[in-house]
Amino acid sequence: MRYITAAIQQDLQKKMVFIGGPRQVGKTTLAKKLLSTTNGRYFNWDYDQDRHNILEHKWSHNDDLLIFDELHKFPRWKSWIKGVYDVVGNEHSILVTGSARLDVYRRGGDSLLGRYHYWRLHPFTLDEAPVDLNQYEIFDRLMTLGGFPEPFLSGNLRESRRWKRERFNRVLREDIRDLESIKNIQGISLLVDLLRTRVGGMIVVSNLAQDLQVAPQTVKSWLEILERMYLIFRVLPYTQSIPRAILKPAKVYFFDNADTIDEKGARFENLIATTLLKRLHYLEDYEGYRYELRYIRDKEGREIDFVILKEGIIEELIEVKYSDDKLSKSLNYYAKKLEAKKTTQIVANLKQAYDKNGISITNPFLYFSNPPWLKN
């Protein structure tokens, strides 16, 4: 079972559940696994007969669980599902899945506020792997194949490359085409190629616009679309309580670790970013607190890769290194300056973990060894 399965089962007893996440991350598999434990029906909007049955409300009163997959491609999906829930919600549990951000997507219809819980499903990570592999094999697959189920489970680099190309083409040529009024698909594809080479670096929209020979507003719009499609996510700068901080552009990371350039340092930083975001999304979806992932850079060039905020308050400072096991000067400086509850330096090749000046220098296996979903 995936890490959010138990929590979803609990929520389905109270409200509708929406599951968002990247294409082919395992949403349909998770939904059908839930269906195997109860009576119900699975409908896929992409399938003609299912689409007809959805519009005609063709299901049985005995179906305890109704699953509507890719329903967000229906232009009036929000008003439609609101009507279903308000009329027959007491008879059925309802699960809606989609490869776009169902919590923010707006295509008309009445508000669903108070009628659903929203969950985000992420790829496999260091703290959630489904196969009988040791931690070093898991790390190697995540670094070379990425964490999406099909390439990760295959363990085959050639098949992973084919899968990645096919998935990327489907997102661009089907999902974006269906959900956005975008004509320049080639331009978005070129933008993704540029972003792959700039993982962990600050993204200046005007520079990207110049490289692509389009307007800055167009690039900004494309970045938002790529986020809604769960291809990328942005990490914004943290400036509060930092007098010498400058308002810097966002950094960009990929949900699929294999989408980054094949450079160990950048790919490892992307892996840590995706794993941290997965944890924060879980805590936010489960506990209801507002979590944010930020970074710090000041005018003197002191930089920290990640800052975890809970309700706007710093919880932890995190620096990521692939092989440098020396304590980061910037991390040491801000650990004293900001008095964070926890400060950590994660080193990929660290053989022996140690503490210095109240800062934990550790490896990714130790840091991610106790995920929050095992506590709940």
pLDDT at residue number 25: 95
pLDDT at residue number 108: 45
Examine residue 113 and state whether it is found in any structural domain, yes or no: yes
Q: What CATH number is given to the structural domain containing 43?
A: 3.40.50.300
Q: Are residues 36 and 106 in the same domain?
A: yes
Q: Are residues 106 and 32 in the same domain?
A: yes
315 vs 343: CA distance, rounded Å? 9
Examine residue 130 and state whether it is found in any structural domain, yes or no: no
Asked if pLDDT for residue 208 goes beyond 70, the answer is yes
Tens digits of per-residue pLDDT, 157-191? Answer: 999 999 999 998 888 877 777 766 777 888 999 99
The residue length of the chain stands at 376
Asked if pLDDT for residue 207 goes beyond 50, the answer is yes
Examine residue 349 and state whether it is found in any structural domain, yes or no: yes
Examine residue 206 and state whether it is found in any structural domain, yes or no: yes
Which residues make Cβ contacts (< 8 Å) with residue 137, sequence separation at least 6?
none
Q: Are residues 67 and 153 in the same domain?
A: no
Q: Are residues 206 and 309 in the same domain?
A: yes
Mean pLDDT, to the nearest integer, of 231-259? 84
Give the chain's mean pLDDT: 91
Cα angle 25, 54, 18; round to 5: 40
Q: Are residues 99 and 147 in the same domain?
A: no
Q: Are residues 148 and 65 in the same domain?
A: no
pLDDT at residue number 304: 95
pLDDT at residue number 146: 96
Examine residue 352 and state whether it is found in any structural domain, yes or no: yes
Tens digits of per-residue pLDDT, 229-244? Answer: 899 999 999 988 666 6
Mean pLDDT, to the nearest integer, of 209-219? 94
Q: Are residues 85 and 198 in the same domain?
A: no
Mean pLDDT, to the nearest integer, of 264-279? 97
Asked if pLDDT for residue 245 goes beyond 70, the answer is no
Q: Are residues 103 and 165 in the same domain?
A: no
Tens digits of per-residue pLDDT, 358-374? Answer: 999 999 999 999 999 99
Examine residue 129 and state whether it is found in any structural domain, yes or no: no
Contact 212, 219 (CB under 8 A): yes
Mean pLDDT, to the nearest integer, of 14-35? 95
Q: Of the candidates 120, 149, 175, which is a domain's last residue?
A: 120
Which residues make Cβ contacts (< 8 Å) with residue 77, sequence separation at least 6?
71, 107, 109
Contact 231, 260 (CB under 8 A): no
273 vs 285: CA distance, rounded Å? 18
Per DSSP, the three-state class of 55 is helix
The two tokens of residue 229 are: 């499609």
Examine residue 354 and state whether it is found in any structural domain, yes or no: yes
Q: Are residues 147 and 233 in the same domain?
A: yes
The two tokens of residue 49 are: 């007969």
More confident residue, 181 or 115: 115
Contact 251, 202 (CB under 8 A): yes
- Indicate the number of domains in the chain: 2
Contact 367, 276 (CB under 8 A): no
| Structural domain for 367, as ranges | 135-374
Q: Of the candidates 120, 145, 178, which is a domain's last residue?
A: 120
Q: Of the candidates 120, 151, 169, which is a domain's last residue?
A: 120
Tens digits of per-residue pLDDT, 69-100? Answer: 999 889 889 999 999 999 999 999 999 998 77
Q: Are residues 198 and 234 in the same domain?
A: yes
pLDDT at residue number 261: 86
Q: Are residues 105 and 166 in the same domain?
A: no
Q: Are residues 155 and 182 in the same domain?
A: yes
216 vs 222: CA distance, rounded Å? 10
* Residue 107 pLDDT class (50, 70, 90 cuts): very low
Closest CA relative to residue 272, chosen from 319, 229, 234: 319
Look up residue 175 and give its amino acid.
Answer: D
Instruction: Work out the percent of the chain whose per-residue pLDDT is above 90.
Output: 77
Among 99-108, 120-129, 252-261, 304-313, name the one with the lowest average pLDDT.
Answer: 99-108
Mean pLDDT, to the nearest integer, of 121-139? 93
More confident residue, 300 or 246: 300
Examine residue 126 and state whether it is found in any structural domain, yes or no: no
Asked if pLDDT for residue 247 goes beyond 80, the answer is no
CB-neighbour burial class of residue 213 (10 A; exposed 0-12, middle 13-18, buried 19+): exposed
| pTM across the whole model | 0.93
